[in-house]
Every structure is written in structure tokens, then in C-alpha cells.
């Protein structure tokens, strides 16, 4: 089996390309079908493809699980947690993926996209809530809310009187 030895453990190197590695850092976890098997070793621009190349170091004991149809996606642990790399090993009908191979990226798939979109939604809701808090605080100063509602009631009465005269 290929790979290198680090601290006595045999490691294999794989990589994938993405257009957006936001939140992924060197040292991020790599999981294979839910089991932690390695880490992100490097994140660098790929000038040839104009993408970002992410290098993964994976314990070679799991190399038998990685097949040519393996896929990778970037995931978030929990709603606002750390980013990690999730690998689906592929079908056992396919040959084993060799050391130094590229793994195909699945962008925006399943629950991970939902959680990522949920995080953006929560940020928007938080901005709206902050704005509403400012408006309410402003209305609570010096009886402004009472004056506003009194003014609205007067306007409603005047509109009612005008509509009666138009009939």
C-alpha cells in the first residue's frame, strides 16, 4: 500500500477541488461514513482550474474503504459548528482508490446544505430581531408609543368621517 508514515502510522493522501472552502481549516476532521479517519492537511489555490485544492491525510487502514466512485462533501457539525470533510466510500463493486487520487466533490447536498442554509436564515432573523429591538426601544422613550397609537387612532377616526361624507 502506498502512502507515508507519520509517527509510526501509515497515511494516504487524497484531495478534492472546490470553489468555496469557507470555514474549512487545516486540521479540520475528515470522516468516512461517519468515522473519523484523518484531517485536512492543506488548502491552496489551484491556478490551473481556478478552484481551491484541499489535501486530505487519511489513515491507510481505511484506504480499502475508499473506492473509485467515492464522493466528498464539506459539512457542518451541528447548526453553527465547525466545518469538516465527509467522505462516502463508494461501492464495493468498484476498485480501491489509489493513494494521491482525487475524490469527486458533491456540492450542496442533503442535510448539510440545509444546515448551512439554516445558519444563513438564523443570521437574517437575528438582524431583523435586532432592528425590531431598536424600534421598540425608540418607541418606549418618553411615551412615544402612546403618542403614536393616539395619532393612529385619530387618523383612523378622520378617515372614517371622510368616508361617511363621501357616501
pLDDT tens per residue across span 69-99: 999 999 888 766 789 999 999 999 999 999 9
Confidence at 141, pLDDT banded by 50, 70, 90: confident
Stated as kind and residue range, the H or E segment containing 140 is helix 110-140
Q: Which residue has the higher pLDDT, 5 or 43?
A: 43
Confidence at 124, pLDDT banded by 50, 70, 90: confident
Across 118-132, average pLDDT: 81
Residues of the chain with pLDDT > 70, as a percent, come to 87
Q: Is the pLDDT of residue 12 over 90?
A: yes
Per-residue pLDDT, 5? 46
Confidence at 6, pLDDT banded by 50, 70, 90: very low
Task: Extract long-range pairs of 35-44: CB within 8 Å, 24+ residues apart.
Answer: 35/62, 37/62, 37/87, 38/11, 38/62, 40/85, 41/13
Per-residue pLDDT, 18? 92
- Distance from C-alpha of 48 to C-alpha of 51, rounded to nearest angstrom: 8
- Distance from C-alpha of 151 to C-alpha of 81, rounded to nearest angstrom: 48
Per-residue pLDDT, 139? 78
Q: Which grid cell sits at 111?
A: 442535510
Per-residue pLDDT, 125? 83
Is residue 103 within 8 A of residue 16, CB to CB? The reply is: yes
From 36-45, 87-96, 127-136, the region with the lowest mean pLDDT: 127-136
Stated as kind and residue range, the H or E segment containing 110 is helix 110-140
* Mean pLDDT estimate for the chain: 85
Separation in Å, CA 55 to CA 29, 103, 110, 137, 140: 12, 10, 23, 50, 55
Across 134-149, average pLDDT: 81
Q: Is the pLDDT of residue 39 over 50?
A: yes
Per-residue pLDDT, 89? 92
Amino acid at each position: 500500500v502506498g502512502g507515508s508514515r507519520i509517527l509510526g502510522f501509515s497515511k494516504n493522501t487524497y484531495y478534492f477541488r472546490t470553489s468555496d472552502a469557507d470555514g474549512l481549516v487545516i486540521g479540520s476532521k475528515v470522516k468516512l461514513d461517519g468515522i473519523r479517519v484523518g484531517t485536512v492537511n492543506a488548502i491552496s489555490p489551484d491556478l490551473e482550474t481556478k478552484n481551491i485544492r484541499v489535501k486530505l491525510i487519511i489513515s491507510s487502514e481505511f484506504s480499502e474503504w475508499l473506492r473509485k466512485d467515492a464522493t466528498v462533501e464539506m459539512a457542518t457539525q451541528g447548526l453553527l459548528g465547525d466545518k469538516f470533510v465527509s467522505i462516502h466510500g463508494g461501492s464495493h463493486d468498484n476498485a480501491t482508490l489509489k493513494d494521491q487520487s482525487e475524490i469527486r466533490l458533491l456540492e450542496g447536498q442533503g442535510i448539510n446544505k440545509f444546515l448551512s442554509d439554516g445558519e444563513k436564515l438564523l443570521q437574517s432573523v437575528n438582524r431583523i430581531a435586532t432592528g425590531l429591538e431598536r424600534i421598540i426601544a425608540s418607541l418606549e422613550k418618553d411615551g412615544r408609543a402612546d403618542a403614536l397609537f393616539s395619532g393612529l387612532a385619530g387618523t383612523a377616526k378622520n378617515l372614517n368621517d371622510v368616508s361617511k361624507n363621501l357616501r
